[in-house]
Amino acid sequence: MHLHPLPAFTDNYIWVLHDGARAMVVDPGEASGVQAYLAEHRLTLDTILITHHHGDHTGGVAALRAATGARVIGPVDEPMPEPLQRVAGGQTVDVLGMRFEVLDVPGHTAGHIAYYLEEMDGAPLLFCGDTLFSAGCGRLFEGTPAQMLASLSHLAALPAATRVCCTHEYTLSNLRFARAVEPGNAALTQYRQWCDTQREQNLPTLPSTIGLEKAINPFLRAHQPSLAEAARAHNPACGSDPLAVFATLREWKNVF
Ligand SMILES: [Zn+2]
Ligand SMILES: [Zn+2]
């Protein structure tokens, strides 16, 4: 299988997964780049997976469906470009001979879902939309900090080798915040150097892995004493409860 992040707009990726003949795409915010890729690689579009309703994730769905006849799968509780098959957490979807598990991950939007595949070419795979980013997480447009923390904890419990396919290249700006919060984290310093090199060559920093994110992502580390300390320095009323620490970090990041 081939996994490819197709850049779109200023910082989106439309993930393409294909076997050399048939393809699926995740969150196509626009159609033309996908169609060019399909033509270049002589691929038939089989399936479109959607994680949540934002336009930069759904804007290309109608055009792609009309041009290719691909089936569309998306979350049960969000406004979606009809017609489509709607799925919720606990269900599975079979695509190109692979079985994806649907995970409910509310927080960024109320009905946000993710797609998890236990094994593809030796490691698990996760399409998590705007829930988990490398070194960051999505803004809380519709959900509460408690919902987002539960969603991220669910993702953090996946195997360390899970490849994390996020929808935005926000890594460098996320790392600026992560380093301000946790200046003593050596893994962060090392990762930043690698990401700088990638971006200088216009290469993606993604996919990341769950194991790496647990070492460097402040939003997966709210239970760590160093993060509680940083959150208290920002807001002395915060305390050390992981939910309060997470909420403080998320608010802080919004104004950073
Ligand atoms: Zn979004
Ligand atoms: Zn987005």
Among residues 18, 53, 108, 112, the one annotated as catalytic is 108
| HEC per residue, the chain | CEEEEEEECCCEEEEEEECCCEEEEECCCCCHHHHHHHHHCCCEEEEEECCCCCHHHHCCHHHHHHHHCCEEEEECCCCCCCCCEEECCCCEEEECCEEEEEEECCCCCCCCEEEEEEEECCEEEEEEECCEECCEECCCCCCCHHHHHHHHHHHHCCCCCCEEEECECCHHHHHHHHHHHCCCCHHHHHHHHHHHHHHHCCCCCCCEEHHHHHHHCHHHCCCCHHHHHHHHHHCCCCCCCHHHHHHHHHHHHHHC
User: Residue 52 catalytic?
Assistant: yes
Q: How far is CA 116 from the centre of its chain?
A: 11
Task: Classify residue 247 by burial, with Cβ atoms within 10 Å: 0-12, 13-18, 19+.
Answer: buried
Task: Give the other-Cβ count within 10 Å of 113's Cβ.
Answer: 30
Distance 131 CA to ligand 2 centre (A): 9
Residue 252 identity: W
- Check residue 6 and give its pLDDT: 98
- Check residue 239 and give its pLDDT: 87
User: Residue 112 catalytic?
Assistant: no
Strand partners, 2: 18
All residue ranges of the chain with pLDDT < 70 are none
The protein residues having their C-beta less than 5 angstroms from ligand 1 (an ion) are: 54, 130
- Check residue 60 and give its pLDDT: 98
User: Residue 53 catalytic?
Assistant: no
User: Residue 11 catalytic?
Assistant: no
pTM exceeding the 0.85 threshold for the entire prediction = yes
